[in-house]
Amino acid sequence: MTNCIFCKIIEKQLPSDLIHEDDKIIVFKDIRPKAKVHLLIVPKEHIKSLAETNTKHATLLAHMLLALPELAKAQGLAHGFRTVINTGVEGGQEIDHIHFHLLGGGILPKM
């Protein structure tokens, strides 16, 4: 995906404040944080949105979800955190590459 911002970050064509990287995901700080801690968990595989996943993505999605508690712990979020997946334009998704938001670092507003 040549025009995908997240693909360019994954390929190191654009800078990011990298927190974690492994063979399946990359994690970096959001450039417009909505909380004291606001990380983006992005798969290296380009998938447009959660709506386009299926059973072949089960292992990748599990890997992303299971990374969240460890990332939260490493960020000092001992008292809780929020995970958000915006899906599609009406769901607030701005980048057409599936990603999870990890937010925390204080009392977050109720949803």
Active site residues: 99
C-alpha–C-alpha distance, residues 28 and 45, integer Å: 16
C-alpha–C-alpha distance, residues 50 and 109, integer Å: 24
C-alpha–C-alpha distance, residues 47 and 49, integer Å: 6
Torsion sign over Cα 96, 102, 103, 108: positive
Chain-centroid distance, C-alpha 68? 9
C-alpha–C-alpha distance, residues 50 and 80, integer Å: 24
